[in-house]
Every structure is written in C-alpha cells, then in structure tokens.
Structure 1
C-alpha cells in the first residue's frame, strides 16, 4: 500500500516540520522515524481490533477547515493502537493529496485535502508525535506556559507551545511540572464534558486559556445550541444584539494579498524584535552579575564603573525592557544607574518607565532623579499622568506624584494639588490619660508589721507598683476611633516649588493664588 510521495509533498512537509514542529519526528516509544518513512509510506497497515470508531474520529477531525482540527486529528492518530495508526499521501489530481487511514486491512477513509492544508496536518502530526509529553512552566511572576522544551540556549529556553515557538529566560521559570501536552489534556477533558451549558462554557474557557481557539469556538457553539440567548457565548462568537436579536455582522471579506504580506511581515518583525529584546536582557543580566551587583565589589569599585560604562554605551531602544527589568530589581546604586540609562533614550518607553520610577521606587533619591530626568522632555502627557496619580487611593503614590510635580514646576497642577493638601480620616487611636492615685496610696500605704527571719519588721510600700516604680500617678491607656487630620507636607512642598510662595495648608489661599496667576 505504500506509495512514494512527490517532491512537492516532501518539500511542503519539510517546510512545515521546520516552521511548526520545531523538532524531529518521534514515535511514542521514542524511536526516531525518518522523513522518508514519514511521507512515503504508512506506519503499519494491520489494524487492531475495535478501532473503526477511532479511525472515523480521526477522519472527521482532519476534514475540519482549520489548524485545530489538523492538530487534534494528528494527536488522535497517535492515540490509536500502533497497527491502525497510519497516514499516507497519494496523488488525486489537481494539485491535491489524499489522506488515507486504513482499518480492518483496507482503506477505511479517504479524505481529499488541498495541498496548502496538507502542511497543517503533517506538521501537526510531527508536533504531536514529538510532544508525546508536555510540560507546565510555572513563572516567577505568577503565570504559566504549557509546552515542551525545543532547545536549551544557555540563559534561555526555547519552548514550543500551542501558539508557536518562543524563548523564555531561565530565571523566570520557578519550576517545570511534567505532564501531557495541552491537546492531549483537551481530549481527556472533552470526554468528561457533559452536554450542559455550565460544562461546555467551562471547557470553552479552559481552551481559551491554553490557546486552543478552534476548540473554544466549538464549545461556545454548543453553549448557544443549548441556550440560544447566552450573551457571553454569543459575543465571543462575534454576534451583536440589534432589536433584541443576535446577528453576525457581515465579514469584511478575505484578506487581500497585500494584507497577508503585511501580516507576515509584521509577524516576522515581531519575532526578530523579541529575539533582540531577549538578547539584550541576557547581556544586561551578565553585566549586572559580573560588574554591578554588590557581590562584584560595590558602587565604588572598578568593576561597577566598568559595568556602568557598558550599560550607558547601549543606545538601542530595544534594550530598554532588559535594562529596566534587570536594574529595577537591584540595589540603590543600580536603580540610580537605571534612571541615568533611561534618560539617554528619547522614546516613549523610556518616558513611561521614568514616570513609573518617580511614582513607585522606594528611594526618595531615585524618585527625585527620575522626575528630574523627565523635566527636559517636552511631553504634556507626563504632567497629565502625574496629576491623575494625585487621585490614587494609595497614599504613597499620591505623595510621590506631588513631589514629582513640584520638581517639574507644573503650574497647571496647582488646582489639583490644593484639594489634597490635607485630609481627614477615621482611625483607631491609642488614648492615654494621666490618673492621680494619691488618695488610693494614702488609704493603703500605712506601716505594716511583717516577720522577716523570725523577727518582726515594719514595712511601708514606697509606691503603687502597678503604676510603675516610684510613682503614685498612673497612665490609663485605651483605643478609640477618632477623626484624624492628615497634612501632606509633600503636597505643600510641591506648591512652594511651583509658586515660590508658602501659604501653609490654607487651601483657600492657594486657590486664590491660582486665580490671581491664571493657573
């Protein structure tokens, strides 16, 4: 039953394998299979017993007009017994190829698939075979990725996920949990999923989380089949509500060739950018560990001076994510260097990070340096964002925003600063009251006759010891809720910097100044 594949088939499959599978084809038992046997013959034509349903399931999945069907079909092939797991490509004319799945010793299903879609199935089969096991990568920032390691690049790992291949720094990975790849986990969940709105929606949500978009859509469609007016499912499927009815807007049509070319170019640029960002991040980490960290000698060492020079020589804006992510978590001198480095970049990302540092850095010195670095920038958005931060519920952010506005001498912020000069809040306060207990002492401090060592002695207490040594005046403390007035000196100092006046905490006086000076 084996037939030789055409050159175009082998070439298409090879390209698909390189672009999507990112790894050699592997049988589930770990034995490599050659490209020749992958595309020139079937993998065992003697079927196992009771496999007809499985073969037809694969056939149905491969008929689907999307990559998700190809991937699940290829995975289903792997799940079939070894004797029935077979895939072959034969000419059918018109530039197409047919997918043959044998069972009971004969061809059980022949599916005609256009040549351009054939690559999806081949690459999915290769990917599913290569990823007989999948891992869950738990990240330091709290998220996680599902996939398999394609290559260890030293400082980074190249990981294949359902969305493609990406690089991730090793120190972001807290732990790696071994397990099945996401498409295998999907099959297991799907088998347990009941025909209820709750179960179908839950499975659709799970598919969205791990990137199985086609499967998400399938289960959303089951939801609206069970509950026609389910709003969330309808919206996620692209429906809009007009006059009480759910309708689907007309499609704008297939993308033109120019749009497809532009999309491919954008995707290529995105990959190249991510590779460069990762490259800079790795470089900055190496500089920090070897030159800038406290273990390397401290701020006054030659190593730090050399590391500082290397950081400041980097002028590519694509280095900003790496410089910021590494140095922002460092010691005080490293964060001062971060501000110095960002000040060299006249781009939005540098400005954004300087504003964040001015609001959030724990050091007043670093916050002030960041605000001063913002001063030469002719960007009205800076003051707008800092004025907005004055409305923050976080007291520290409010005060830091005021300090930054003062350094920038933002006259337009006077009316925003004035209302936050002072505030009142209700808080639990410890209240202490002095209580004189001389009457109590007088009543009970008479001379007393005790016996000491068998002899009588006279004793008179020198104080009320419960109130403290040598004292007959005590302090009674308790907690109670009171209205507390808070005066924000950072806001007052900002107003003084901006106006050159010191009107204290008199809000009315500051507003009058604003009226008189057109602020």
Structure 2
C-alpha cells in the first residue's frame, strides 16, 4: 500500500524554493511533481512539491522518475509571474532564446505582435521578411517563390506532382505483387480453370509497373515454363528493372535458350538497347561472359561496339591447376602473366584465348572478313574507316 508521510524539515532543507520539478510516477497510478531533496539509505524518495509540501515515498512505490529540464521549470515559474505587457513578453522571449526554448519564444513573440503588429524585432524573430511593404512569414514567402510545404519540406509544384506520382506507382506496384503471387499459386492449383486463368493473366501482362514484382518472383522461380513467361513479360514492359534483368540474364543465365531469348527481347518492339553493360562485360574475368557479351552486341547491332570488340578478340585469363593433377579451375582474370609455381601445390597459369563470338560480332557489324583474330589488322582497318568517314563529312560541308 502506498505510504506517504509528511517530513519534518531540518536545516539542510531550508532555503529558497528550487526551480526544479521532476515527475515521479507512482505505483498507484498517479504522479507527483517536485524537487528531490534526499535519498536515504533505504532508497526512498524525499520530495518537495512546488507549493512547499514535503513528501516521502518508499522506493517500491515509485515506478518511474522523469527528470524535468531546469530551463523548462524556470520558464514555467517566470511565465506564471509575468505581467501581460509587451515589454514583459519581449523580455521573456529574449530569455527563451538564450535558454534554447524556441517554441516558447515564438509564443511570446506572437503575443508581442498582438500588441503591435508592426514590431520589426518580433517579425524578424519569427522569420518574417518584408516584401513590397508587406511582412511575409516563411510559408507565404515560399509560396511567392512557387513552393509549397509538402511532407515537411518546401517543394516546387512539379516536384510535388512527381512525388505524388511515385506514391501512386508504389501503390500500384504493391497491388501487382499481390496479384502475381495469387496467379503463381493458381498455377499449382488442382482446378484447371484457375490454372488457365493464371496462365492467361501472366501471358497478357502489359503494365510497366508490374516489372519490379515480376523481377522479384523471377529470382526464386524454379519452374521452367513460368520462368519463360516472366521473361517474355519483361520483354513487353518498358521499365528500367525489366531492361536490367534482361541484360543480367543474357549474360549470366545458365540456360542458353533463356540467354538467347533475352538478347532478342532487348531489341524487340522498337526497344533501343544500350551497349554499355555488354561492352563492360567484354572485360570480364570469365571468358564465357566475354563471348556472351559479344553475342548480345551482335544482336543489338550498334557500330559503336566495334572498337571495344576489337580489343576483346583475344583476352588473357588465369587458370588454377590443382596440385599434380591435370584439373584446371578457371578463376580467370584479364591481364598478362606467365606460369606461377608453388611447389607441389596449386599452379596459376595465364592463357590467351581467342573469342569466337567476338569475331562473329565484328564480322556481322563491319561486313569485313578475312582479318581473323589479328587485332593489329582490325585496328588498322578501323582507323582507316574513321579517317575515310572524316574526309567524307568534310566534303559534305
């Protein structure tokens, strides 16, 4: 049971009332505000309330102590004692600024303006600026600049439209996730009508906002038919995540048919594919990736790929030979290197590999044959072509 006892005050408790008034939440459900005067050895609390009463609580009766900021307590005392005059509010506003009580400061500056709407010091303190003889607050000033407060920040109307559209797109994408998961479950249903409906819905997907959800499902899909349907859907969707996924699969999927399908989809229906990711892949440590990238560049057909393809006709890769065996592990990285020995341990060898898909892509893009894997001959031919094109362009001027 809560026990509260009045204490006799000894000399150490005498003096001016403190500005501090911490909060003591009690086990009974109530609370007391006051200054902690003493903590005896038994852990109890001796508190002086703002009206001067002394109370004692056993340790078990206090469930939480919230320490109140001294400045806030002092402000409460000052605000109770102040007179409602413009001078008093201005003085307390200055005190609040010194003690970093911004909200309270603004309150008193607003009161100053109620006494004198033209008080320049109060206007400036509240962030007003004078424009055309009128005092404008921050919101009004930003509105003049064509900006509105949106989700805690001032933004242009165009930016707000884009953010709202992004919100709508995010909601639509979430809806697609729900639908696609439902259709995927239906594909495994024993009901033929649900299987047929799911196949129809997946095969007719044409909303670009569905692309991110399809990509997530594709990453963990094991069924070959479903994978192909998802890939086909991505080929129909004009969305960055769809294009990025087709590029990734064209380079890294283990299924040759999937890789071929992705290469074709990147240029189907008027889609203009970037050569950049495939040009970068020509520098891969993995020789297979180099050739897959070349195959994609051949399909894309952009002549800007000719120069990097020439550089990739023959690439150097490193292989690891395990111990005394003839087994080779292709760790492979581009760059020069010879034969590295480690006693009877693994050996690292470097080999120059010809890349047939690179040669095929070059031949297709340039309609030039007979140069084989001679990089120097290809480079000479390329420079001559560039010079001829430059001369012809000058003649046309």
> TM-score, structure 2 length as denominator?
0.50
RCO greater where, 1 or 2, for CA within 8 Å and sep 6 or more? 1
